[in-house]
Chains A and B, each alone.
Chain A
Amino acid sequence: MYQTTYHRASSVDEAASLFGKGSEAKYLSGGQTLLPVMKQRLASPSDVIDLAKIKELIGVEAAGDTLTIKAATPHYDVATSAAAKQAIPALAYLASLIGDPAVRYRGTIGGSLANNDPAADYPAATLALGATIKTNKRTIGADDYFKGLFTTALEDGEIITAVSFPVPAKAGYAKFPHPASRFALTGVFVAKTKSGDVRVAVTGASQSGVMRVAALENALKANWSASAVDSVSIPSSGLLSDLHGSSDYRANLIKVMAGRAVTAAG
């Protein structure tokens, strides 16, 4: 790892101010992606600004039809949160599948969404549930947030403070994990909103990161059942193809995982 200067921020405002003073500063949340990347010398921030101890960024709250997860809440705390398990059990389940237990103690939802790894789990839930990403400057709807591989609508220095999920009528997540990394080879999150709309988001499969699949949404809106996905055709164009799986294989996985997610949602 190259030299860097570590700062522990005690508030969001202080973190933003520290960021502005660094020549090439990076925010550090759980560090389960950033630190491995720094160890490989693929990133060399002048300053790392630790957000993980900022009290206003930690916690899970359910109020009315909204579940809010503050940005520096670790995956373990979401997976075991009584409020999350009651409001959106599929979301707590998703958190329980991220990485491994040691990673889940450190990694955070804000870090995951800011990084927007194309095989990460949280982007699928965020997009399928139509969540709102709150930052220190504004709120961003999920449909406007994800901009492609490792790319988001966040501006330089902007900090995610919380993610608000509308509580759906039904939701389910199914992931085919890479056997070593536990990232999604393909993961599908399905959600039926309380107004009857259906949203389906797929992670791990597309060359442009998390994506919605209209064909699956239409099929499930007409018939909310695992068998409804059988007749849907998923084109393999635009899907990832690598040593772990061809684009055809991933196209098939999207259908299989979508079916399992609907079954899980009930």
Chain B
Amino acid sequence: MAAGSARILVPVGASSTFRNTVAYAVRAARSGVEAGAEAATVHFVSPARGRTDSGNLGDDIAADLLDRAVVWAREDLDRDADDDPAVEIRTAIVGADRYLFSPGDYADAVAEYAAEFGLDRVVVDPGFQPGGNAPMLLPFERELARSSLTVEEAPTTRRTERVPLVSRATLSKGVATFGATYAFYLLIAGSVTPFNLATGALTALLAAAGFSSVSFLTSPSPRRTGARVLRLLLFVPYLVWEITKANLSIAYIILHPSLPIDPEMQRYRAAVWGGFPVTTLGNSITLTPGTLTVDVGREGLDIHTLTGGARDDLAAGGLERAVRFVFYGRSAARIPSPAERGSISAVDDTDTDTDTGSGGSVVIDAVAASRPSDSRASADDSDPRPAAPDAERTGDPGADRPTEPAAESGEEVE
């Protein structure tokens, strides 16, 4: 299998994780040499972009990046060299003779180059943006995998991707924060004496001034929020009932002398989007026993399931429907179950192949579930310096990815 090949191509683009990708590619090439591959080589390839009559506009930047990649790669080779295995480093700019537009164009250019030099393994930087700002890393990887290349994403440090914590302050946000805080204050105070009313108003005013732009991402509309709160009130008894039911079965399992558990990781592409709905679903999944949301990523939710029965419940999708009902209304709740949609699958821990459905040997393990544990740990440790200082934060590569659950505020529930 080509996964262990030492002939590696690395598409180059400015990103905050590129330094780690270089380190990973170089290490992979070296381990290939140690495993007996004859010609280890790492090619850093930058797609040309921004053509003008007077030459390629972005070439200076690209050349600069390529130079830096070479310096880094040499550095890693020297530092790690015990017996100095020969790893050839080369750079190139591809696609200068044509107009690169779609992910397919980029993939073709890269694949042609790979064929020319007999490279059969592509290490993609998870922050690589073929088209500048547009998030098209996944299509690019899929296109690449159509050829005979082995494609993998370099295991780099998790990038913190979230919408900015502070959003624009609007009046409705201020009013909502003020109202919620004031109501909470008076509830805790337990009386409406002038003193409490005054101090409460002051506190709520300060909270609204300070946090209204943090508590809400979008301006809450009274009607939508009201409808959601009402449906949430219906959701809570259902959730409590589910929790009780499932807790009894967990209690049975835990107290059973032979402890009949069969844990397994499942990946679940839930039909729920946006920070707050995903947080609700994730937390509800965690609350219903037997299932535990471990990670939320571009590929969906990674869920640890304790028993086969819990897996079946998850696949039946009752919770997902309920959450969709709360956030999108009743009509949205009638969708096929995750099992019927085929959007639930086991995360295999022994094999590096994560099935992405496109056949071939696509290895896109963005969540790093399946890597030998030492590789990533050392990728993080071996580079104490910050990544490329001028690394540009181009767009949001995970625009299709649910935002981090922790970044959400619970304020909206009240």
A, B bound:
no
Binding site for B on A (CB under 8 A): none
Binding site for A on B (CB under 8 A): none
